[in-house]
Chains A and B, each alone.
Chain A
Amino acid sequence: MEGKNNIYNDNKFNIRNMMNKGILSSFFSALVAVFLGLIIGFFVMLIALPANALIGFRHIIVGGLNRIGDVFYYATPILMTGLSVGFANKMGLFNIGASGQYTMGMYFALYVAFMWDLPDSIHWIVACLAGFVGGMIWGAIPGIFKAFLNVNEVITSIMFNYIGMYLVDMLIQGNSAMYVSDKTRTQYIPAEVQMPSLGIPNSNVNLGIILAILIGILLYIVLQKTIFGYELKATGFNRFASEYAGMKGKRNIIITMAIAGGLSGLGGAFGILAPSGIAGSSMTYEPINIIAPAGFNGIAVALLGNSHPIGIIFSAIFISYIQRGGTLASLAGYKPEIIDIVIAVIIYFSAFANIMNTAILGFIVRHFGKGRKSGNTLANDDIKEAE
């Protein structure tokens, strides 16, 4: 007993123990994923257009700095869908339905914006809340199916992406107060209902990003500090143990999916209610039978952020940053799709981030951490059941 305690104290502050806490490890693996993704992206550019590869790559790396307002603006919706996917994932649920929830959120927000007559000061707030409710409903239904009928949430939520999208397209086209049929888009939203801008020139960045970051922090607190978070994570790690401990699994599944849906819905509201740089215009919804890409980007954001709310804040901003740089790469003659390839590679690498961080950190500790008690043991996270 004493011997063991000594080892524990000696090693209190070395890399190994920080690794054990998982924070450094997931941050590190995300960085490695990003790094490898960029290198491979560079090679892709080199093959596509060798002469301009360096200039184009420079745009990708630092281009976002010139458009910092846009970086945050475009980060807002994917941050919300990322939080949505990550939150459900903490309970072991895969919310692939973020797109549908996002679309429902947009519709509810639009409906309140056009159809409800409210004082200017609270109109956008109510519209956002309506978006939250819309997403919540769309998330809760797959949750109910999962809880009571054990229908896989992946299947139902994919179906609900389509159902939500077609339903919203239909409802909008059928509402003459909202829809301008000859332009195949919704009316401009009155300026009073748009979200307050943050006033950065040449950018639509608005209060949404600040709210989204605050929500991320709030989720972190919920997951780490509350009983609900404790139950949610316990269920995600081991459903049987949570049941044994008397947790209400069915209720928690529905609540988790409802919250996840609400987060996506709020993302939709933030997206549609964003202020426009051009006076007298606004964001519009075009009912053209396309599933909102924000939902799928959210899956990528959540993966890169390792489903950790704070990690997701950073990964959303990062992905938005690199997307802005990617659009600039077109100045050097590149198709913007090239950046989609780079992002895809990053996500791809982050999916096996844990293997990489084991290998790389193991290497570092072996070569630079000699003499430490905890030598080459990094590779053993999953085989610690030595006895």
Chain B
Amino acid sequence: MGEYIIEMLNITKIFPGIVANDNITLKLKKGEIHALLGENGAGKSTLMSILFGLYQPDSGEIRKNGKVVQINNPNDANDLGIGMVHQHFKLVDIFTVLENIILGVEPNRMGFIQKEEARKKVVELSEKYGLKVDPDAYVEDITVGMQQRVEILKMLYRDNEILIFDEPTAVLTPQEIRELLQIMKGFAKEGKSILFISHKLNEIMEVADRCTVLRKGKCIGTVNVKDTTKEELSRMMVGRDISFKVDKKERKPGDVVLSVKNLNVVSKTHGKNLVKDVSFDVRAGEIVCLAGIDGNGQREIVNAITGLEKPTSGTIILCGHDITKASIRERSIRGISHIPEDRHKHGLVLDYKLEENLVLQRYWQREFQNRGFIKFDSVRKYAEKLIDKFDIRSGQGPITITRSMSGGNQQKAIIAREIDKDHELLIAVQPTRGLDVGAIEYIHKQLISRRDAGKAVLLVSLELDEVMDISDRILVIYEGEIVGELDPKTTTVEELGLYMSGAKRDNVKEINDGREE
């Protein structure tokens, strides 16, 4: 003993209809970065939530420095020096960075907060570890990357020595990811122990010392990262070989399906021009990718095309029809399918059953209703067909409450619904965000199958690998303008990065005109 700072022994946790953790043992050494790898639904987050005191295990025990400990809630975890950065940040938007960091452990004298004291400690910590933050900025105004640094500072401020990172890179840009991995290495050197939940093999290979792989709630094994390969890890995780290369045949684009002309969107809140004079076409049988760092106008363009928000000016033409002023339903009927960016906010009614969500775009069609009454047997049959065809997994089949499904399967449900519906144009916004390799491979195949079926696909993505692998044409967007049109076959990730960060730009209008001539 003594070698391990935390031991989770034979942990079992059962949820309705699913064994989330089945006799899992995880041992964390002091000063190591230990990766926890697994597909969505493999039980990674559950295991970490148990360590953090959010759930109680049904059986098994947790030891710290060899002594059995009982962790009933996050406060207990904190007392034991365990801190966690959640996948979805737990920050108060209308508080400043400093206020968020000290929240819950405010230094005070007779009930008055001693902010200066706190500020000193925060500034010291942020300088020591290179975590750049502005203590007086409001959380709602800072970037996602900085919000994450705030979460990390929260752990450091509480003197935690065991740091859990739950999929920390899912929301970051490539540059920010590199920075974060460096910071994690620094922590390990300091003697802090890190649990790093991820399904991104590259990152694990880069920073982790050891890696424990989970699959379907079971522990597959723990390996030394330097003795293994990406391929082996992915085989352990998925249970089969995964091809990292996307299989894509040559295809000649057909007619123009979507044509966006001189689109402008002016922000209602601060009057800034979020989309500036954007024009582009998407043709049948091609995947056009709108690449860019988050928040450069992609969302506004997608909302204008799908009808969620009205553009300030410009024209949108779908298959020859001007749909600029059409309702969302009309656009859907005319052939737009939309895999939304936020599956919980827009894509699903989480409190509805899976079958009810699968007909969300079609419930009003004759197939599913008769004189205003829903035909429940048709809905059930249709849901069973989609569940089967798209391999959507859930505890109770069509009647599963969607909220209880794993993120990957929720996304599969949306994709099944949008692909199975009649469409000419598929808009997919960050369709693989937060998903594991198996699910990503699956979704990429589906997108390519749409292209091969002669549909137009507009992909919005922040993942450079995805952009390079999937698309036939890349439009780079920076501060609301299209600054470059690239061919993934001839460009490099580095060049793409330069365009995305605004360091390089072409006059795209000229390119377009040139091509048409």
Contacts and interface: CB of A to CB of B under 8 A. Distances in A.
Contact of A227 (B44, B347, B350, B363): B363
A26 to B, nearest CB: 14
Interface string B43-57: 111100100001100
A112 to B, nearest CB: 30
Contact of B363 (A17, A230, A373, A377): A230
Given A234-B352, A241-B346, A387-B45, A374 B363 contact: no
Interface stretch (A186-194, A242-250, A269-277, A329-337): A242-250
A377 B45 contact: no
Given A8-B17, A227-B369, A245-B361, A384 B45 contact: no
Interface string B405-428: 011000000000000000000000
Task: Classify the secondary structure of A's interface with B.
Answer: helix
Interface stretch (B108-116, B186-194, B390-398): B390-398
26 contacts: A1-B391, A4-B18, A7-B395, A8-B17, A8-B395, A20-B401, A226-B373, A237-B352, A241-B345, A241-B347, A243-B346, A244-B306, A244-B308, A244-B328, A244-B338, A246-B331, A248-B329, A375-B58, A377-B16, A384-B15, A386-B18, A386-B46, A386-B55, A387-B40, A387-B41, A387-B406
Interface in A207-251: 225-228, 230, 233-234, 237-238, 240-248
Interface residues of B, number: 59
Contact of B308 (A1, A16, A20, A243): A243
B129 interface: no
B20 interface: yes
Contact of A384 (B16, B43, B346): B16
A387 B43 contact: yes
Interface in B284-312: 306, 308
A228 B46 CA distance: 38
A228 to B, nearest CB: 7
Contacts of B55: 380, 383, 386
Contacts of A245: 328, 360-361
A376 interface: yes
B347 A244 contact: yes
B403 interface: yes
Contact of A246 (B13, B14, B54, B327): B327
A387 B20 contact: yes
Given A237-B352, A246-B328, A8 B396 contact: yes
A176 interface: no
Contacts of B356: 230, 234
Given A11-B17, A16-B16, A374-B16, A387 B407 contact: yes
A237 B15 CA distance: 24
A11 to B, nearest CB: 7
Contact of B17 (A4, A238, A383): A4
Contact of A386 (B45, B332, B350): B45
B69 to A, nearest CB: 21
A227 B17 contact: no
Contacts of B391: 1
